[in-house]
Amino acid sequence: MQKRIETALISIYHKEGFSEIATALKNLGITVYTTGGTLDYLAPLGVKTVPVEDITGFPSILGGRVKTLHPAVFGGILARRNEENDLKQLEEFSIPTIDLVVVDLYPFEDTVASGASHSSIIEKIDIGGISLIRAGAKNHADTVIIGSNNEYSDLLQILTEQEGKTSLEQRQTLAAKAFNVSSHYDAAIFNWFQTNTQVPGFKKSVSVGESLRYGENPHQKATFYGDLNSIVSFLNGKQLSYNNLLDLDAALQLIQDFSGCVCGIIKHNNACGLAVRPTVLEAWRDALAGDPVSAFGGIIAFNREIDLATAQEIDKIFYEILVAPSYAPDALEFLKKKEKRIILQQNKKLALSSQFKSLLDGVIQQDYDTKVVTEADLTFKTNEKPTAEEIQDMLFANILVKHTKSNAIVLVKNQQLIGSGTGQTSRIDALKQAIHKAKSFGFDTQNAVLASDAFFPFADSVEEAHKAGILCIIQPGGSVKDEDSINYCNQHHMKMVFTGHRHFRH
């Protein structure tokens, strides 16, 4: 049913972009009930304004904490126009009907992000505004609700193109948007309080999202919720898929742990190539050499600018996505010659504060594994100690195995991945896979470094490594049979260090 807006209540914090709406309100002769700052803004623009105090009989009190919380306001919003008793009560108490509610809440999240004081944050918890939003949305059968400045464009269209008239379907959509605003606002407040409390409850609210081509498989629907553009800029190519996003996240998490010039190649969330080198071209060549077969269709990530020479080398294989912090102009021009090639520019590092996923009809949550083992974390367990170069490779390998699906073993030589065993149900199988991969691509495992994401339950993995000529091992330790592995190493002049940090990844 079409309804025309005759009256409005407006209380907004952000006034940018509202002047056109004010003109439209004036042209339609809509009476606007409003409060202090908004009244001072609208009145000079010629809008027919009435102070809220004129209908409540009360001034703004408690330093502005209470302005609109009054039956004379909420009665006008919530009154059902098809209920005779509601209308009689409005008449009895001289309450005007309100057809439009426009609210823009105090910027709570921005205030928290600014590092403001506790008292300043508390004052940015909107009470009247959030109540007005809920009231207007509840009574959407009769009332139009605009719950944030993101809906100003919707309101302008209603006032100019529709002459202030709305359909029930339109009001329902605006009500849903309003409840999205209010629920997100409350979740943000709850999560801020949770920084100092431990009230049971999981609340994660993301107000923006975009549909993906499909999910993990073509028959599955998928949506990404979040501000992807704040992380990466799209420079070229087709829309990202669900699997693209999974691999992109794995790639950015991996290279984020390295300070040197690194190139990583990701396939199904695991690195199939990784190298740190003085230049991006060298890093690319040695990362690709780690497993040139698996690199086909992978995600390629750098933490340095891509130059033309590197772009031309990368162009020789098929890949899904290339991501880097920047591109030389001639390199980008060259890469964009293929229209479907996805080229991304990373804008900032991932926050990596908390991760969660759905399971068993619920949600499981944990902190991200952001631990990067340093030399200070190492405990030298064998008679022979690793050299400085071997320690460097150990630390490189430990970062890499942290980002590899469990059970995981990686083999490294000169800061280059030469073989990996990923996602195996036994550690010995992961090791055998890593050795096989290294040898199949022409690498000599003699004197390579081995990293394990968890302890060795038996000494069999150490024995297998020794057979392949591997003499340096980095692992968390913690097995009841650690001494068996340590003794074997001592008997065969091998070097083993413990990190004290397990890195399971499922």
Which of 504, 293, 299 shows the shortest CA–CA distance to 403? Answer: 504
For residue 339, the tally of other CB atoms under 10 A from its CB is 8
Q: CA angle, corner 462, sides to 459 and 464, nearest 5?
A: 110
Are 374 and 398 spatial neighbours (Cβ–Cβ below 8 Å)?
A: no
DSSP 216-236: SSTTS--EEES-HHHHEEEEE
Long-range contacts at 76-85 (CB < 8 A, ≥ 24 apart): 76/7, 76/9, 77/9, 77/101, 77/132, 77/135, 77/136, 77/139, 77/143, 78/135, 78/138, 78/139, 79/139, 79/142, 80/139, 80/141, 80/142, 81/141, 81/142
The residue annotated as part of the active site, out of 138, 336, 439, 492, is: 138
Amino acid at 454: A
Cis-peptide into 414, omega within 30 deg: no
DSSP 278-308: SSHHHHHHHHHHT-TTTTTT-EEEESSPBPH
For residue 421, the tally of other CB atoms under 10 A from its CB is 27
Q: Look up 439 and say whether it is catalytic.
A: no
Task: Give CA torsion, residues 283, 284, 288, 289, to 10 deg.
Answer: -50
Instruction: Determine the Cα–Cα distance for residues 105 and 180; give it in Å rounded to an integer.
Output: 13
Q: What are phi and psi of 150, to 5 degrees?
A: -70, -20
Distances (CA, A) of 434 to 117, 208, 246, 470, 492: 53, 41, 23, 12, 21
The residue annotated as part of the active site, out of 15, 26, 184, 268, is: 268
Pairing type for strands 321-324 and 495-498 reads unpaired
Q: Look up 118 and say whether it is catalytic.
A: no
Beta-carbon contacts of 197 under 8 Å, excluding residues fewer than 6 positions away, are none
Residues identified as active-site? 138, 268
